[in-house]
Chains A and B, each alone.
Chain A
Amino acid sequence: MLLASLVEPSIGLIFWMTLTFLTVLFILAKFAWKPILNGLKEREASIADALNEAKRAREEMAALGAKNEELMRAAREEREVLLKEARDIRDKEIAEAKGKAKAEAEALLSRARADIQNEKKAAIVEMKNQLAELSIQVAEVILKEKLADRAAQQSLVDKVMTEAELRKS
């Protein structure tokens, strides 16, 4: 009998249990589970969002760092290039200047040499001229001296005549 009363459900309790449980189910579903589950879902979503955001920010930072590195590298490279170019230009200019100077100096020298040559030639010509004049003057003096008497003049004419005749024959 005791066990029978245990496994025999009483109508009153079934009635109250059904009524109460369904009411509580309804109230909790509407006023407790809905806000709680929504709240949990929202919080989970916001946490996931925040984590994603942080991850993205970290990635962005990393990308930014890489970009900076790249920029730095590019800048360094460019500086190298610029420096090299500058050095090249400087070297070229120096070389050019040196070449120009050398050429000019050579030109000057060659001009100077030509001038000297010309001067030398002119001097030689003049010397020759003066020498000729001098010799003529000397010859004049000598001739004047030699042809002062008649006999001498005659002998000379004769000599020249003979020479001329000799040459004719």
Chain B
Amino acid sequence: MKALLRLSFLLMAALLMGPLSAQHEGHEHPEAGTVQADQAVHDHADHAHADSAMAATTTVHEAEAAHHEEKKGFDAGTLIMSHIGDEHGWHLWGHTSLPLPIILYNSERGLSVFSSSRFDHGHKTYGGYLLHDGHIAATDSPDGSDAHHATINEELTKATWDISITKNVMSLFVSVTLLLIIFLSVAKAYTRRAGQAPTGLQNLIEPIILFVRDDVAKSAIGHKYERFLPYLLTAFFFIFLNNLLGLVPFFPGGANLTGNIAVTIVLALITFIIVTVNGNKHYWHHILAMPGVPGWVLAILTPVEILGMFLKPFVLMIRLFANITAGHIIALSFFSLIFVFGETSAGAGYGVAIGSWAFTVFMMCLELLVAFIQAYVFTFLSAMYIGAAVEEPHHH
């Protein structure tokens, strides 16, 4: 029965994964084509960029014309995507951005470190690089030349490692600084006031720590929970804090860090490594040869179980990413409705604003709940997977 449940769960996960990866691949090809054909279609890095698939088939002038036409209208999709995506420099308001360091490395030019303001919002080249569709590309044009007309050095671009402090990285730094400040000060309170009743911040944090310890780690892992508690607590508070920071609409919040797949992939990978490293004989035996299952079923079940090993962290990664990103998209969509309607007439804009505002507030409240739930779900499932890996065989 349990195996059957697991099987159906895995099938579901596989089905969910299918369309996603298909989309991923489907979009990769036009993009690759775009880069070669289109060097002219650019805009502010953090603002609307033209549909590259279209640009790939049009001439530069046509593309620019189309682009300018598009720019007149309000492009909700681009706005939303730029808000949930990453960027070099942190857009604060209007044309004001916080410049962030750009760090690039390739074997040909070595390490390059400079401010993102050198790109002038993607209009200029600097140090042999330019900003193309929000991504760094290498160029052979001299510094300060017009980025829109510079040629991209494809080979060098591919060989360049971009480890710039982007908006998300900056947000990551802000959030971990907050985490460190909060928890180190709370830890100090525990050592200074050992054995006494909690006060202040301790009071806020302690129930959550106890929740993670008792209802997540202890209940999912069992008596071996203590070894995994530091990771589970760190993951929980990291995700929770970043989910909350993502809901703050202004600097230093507003980055969509836990809705970024690079972040969730790292978290899921750490869970995967912990599970795999700590898996005991019992765990591997269940994966490779489920006891009590006839041989011909094993031929199906074992590949599924092995697939499941990788699907578990994959699903962890997708769930957090999709939930947080979807929340941001929905909240921003309601918000964008105001401007979409406002374009037709100001009255309609104001009229819609009331409803949009109400819906956005509703979404924000929902997202507050989701912020906690997703942190909980990620931690709990991680704990479950770890629990399955360290579980001792039952005595029948």
Write the residues of chain A forming the contact surface with B, with a CB cutoff of 8 angstroms: 1-18, 20-25, 27-29, 31-40, 42-43, 46
Contact = CB atoms under 8 A, between A and B. Distances in A.
A24 B164 contact: no
B172 A10 contact: no
A143 to B, nearest CB: 144
B187 A16 contact: no
B233 A33 contact: yes
B52 to A, nearest CB: 5
B229 to A, nearest CB: 7
A27 B233 CA distance: 13
Interface residues of B, number: 63
Given A24-B180, A33-B234, A1 B53 contact: yes
A43 B190 CA distance: 10
Nearest to A23: B176
Given A1-B51, A27-B180, A14 B77 contact: no
Contacts of B266: 14, 17-18, 21
Interface string B208-246: 011001000000000000100111011000100000000
Interface of B: 20, 23-24, 27-28, 30-31, 34, 51-53, 77-78, 81, 84-86, 103, 134, 161-166, 168-169, 172-173, 176, 179-180, 183-184, 186-188, 190-191, 194-196, 206, 209-210, 213, 226, 229-231, 233-234, 238, 260-263, 265-267, 270, 321, 325
Contact of B195 (A8, A31, A36, A43): A43
B260 A13 contact: yes
Nearest to A46: B195
Contacts of A40: 190, 206, 209-210, 213
Taking each of A13, A34, A38, which has the highest tally of chain B beta carbons within 10 Å of its own beta carbon?
A: A13
> Main secondary structure on chain A at its contact with chain B?
helix
> Main secondary structure on chain B at its contact with chain A?
helix
Contacts of B34: 1
Nearest to B102: A12
Contacts of B267: 21
Contacts of B81: 2, 5-6
Contacts of B77: 2
Contacts of A16: 163, 165, 169, 172
A37 B214 CA distance: 12
A41 B178 CA distance: 25
B84 A6 contact: yes
A17 B230 contact: no
A12 B164 contact: yes
Contact of B262 (A13, A28, A36): A13
A36 B208 CA distance: 12
B172 A17 contact: yes
B256 to A, nearest CB: 9
A8 B166 contact: no
Nearest to A39: B190
Contacts of B190: 35-36, 38-40
A13 B230 contact: no
A27 B355 CA distance: 46
A28 B233 contact: yes
A3 B261 CA distance: 11
16 contacts: A4-B28, A5-B85, A6-B325, A8-B24, A10-B166, A12-B164, A13-B260, A14-B262, A17-B263, A17-B266, A24-B179, A33-B230, A33-B233, A35-B187, A37-B229, A43-B194
